[in-house]
């Protein structure tokens, strides 16, 4: 009997020790981008890629990205997918552009919803997308390194021209504003918040409106499937 009691105590002691050695759970990616894995060195499992547009390789690549078949690099170097933060919500709420912004002869991919503008660049070496620039909803492409904004209210309208280098670092911004001052009887004109005459405003902003007139047109989601 004494031996039996000693054996029971021995096995109970072993169970206590094994319970103390439990491994901590692996902390996976969450919506707040916290992770216990060095995501910069991990790649997601390859996903099957479909051919959505045979005639246009650029549009086909964009559609593969929109369908979560190609990942992009998130804020902390982790692999993310388009649907982690975005969705195609309707033709009137989403706009798409395929425009070379960094001057390398290859297009960047714009996604706009009713909140923001995300511009992605595809890396052939890494076989994934990278976020080139995150901006406001009212931003539109003009060509390599050039973006304009358009804001309007009941009493004023503002146009802005932004210049960027190949890595999306801001080089220069110019703002053109015009409107009606309270009590809404006198019109005013400003360039970079400095008051100017109407003629000065029209002359100084003419080049920008010429660029806007020839700016790329947005694509709808359905048009990404067209040649």
Structure confidence by residue, pLDDT tens digits, 107-138? 999 999 888 999 999 999 999 999 999 999 89
How close are the terminal C-alpha atoms of the chain, in Å?
A: 87
pLDDT in the model for residue 39? 38
pTM of the predicted model as reported, rounded to 2 decimal places:
0.76
Confidence of residue 182 (pLDDT cuts 50, 70, 90): confident
Torsion angle of C-alpha atoms 122, 128, 133, 138, degrees rounded to 10: 80
Q: Which helix (H) or strand (E) holds 176?
A: strand 170-181
177, 156 Cβ separation under 8 angstroms: yes
- Beta-carbon-side half-sphere exposure of residue 116 (alpha carbons within 13 Å): 8
Burial (0-12, 13-18, 19+ Cβ within 10 Å), 97:
buried
The string of pLDDT tens digits covering residues 75-93 is: 778 888 998 888 776 656 7
């Amino acid at each position: 009997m004494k031996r039996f009691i000693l054996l029971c105590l021995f096995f109970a002691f072993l169970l206590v020790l094994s319970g103390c050695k439990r491994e901590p759970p692996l902390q996976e990616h969450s919506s707040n981008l916290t992770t216990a894995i060095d995501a910069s060195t991990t790649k997601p499992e390859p996903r099957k890629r479909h051919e959505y547009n045979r005639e246009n390789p650029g549009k086909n690549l964009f559609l593969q990205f929109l369908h979560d078949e190609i990942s992009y690099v998130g804020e902390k170097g982790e692999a993310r997918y388009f649907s982690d933060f975005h969705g195609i919500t309707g033709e009137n709420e989403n706009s798409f552009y395929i425009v070379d912004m960094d001057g390398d002869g290859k297009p960047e991919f714009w996604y706009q919803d009713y909140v923001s503008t995300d511009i992605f660049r595809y890396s052939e070496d890494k076989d994934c997308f990278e976020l080139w620039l995150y901006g406001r909803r009212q931003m539109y492409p003009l060509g390599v390194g050039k973006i304009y904004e358009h804001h309007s209210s009941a009493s004023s309208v503002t146009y802005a021209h932004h210049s960027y280098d190949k890595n999306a670092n801001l080089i220069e911004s110019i703002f053109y504003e015009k409107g009606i001052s309270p009590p809404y009887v006198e019109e005013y004109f400003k360039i970079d918040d400095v008051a100017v005459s109407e003629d000065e405003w029209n002359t100084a902003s003419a080049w920008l409106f010429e660029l806007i007139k020839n700016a790329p047109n947005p694509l709808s989601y359905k048009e990404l499937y067209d040649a």
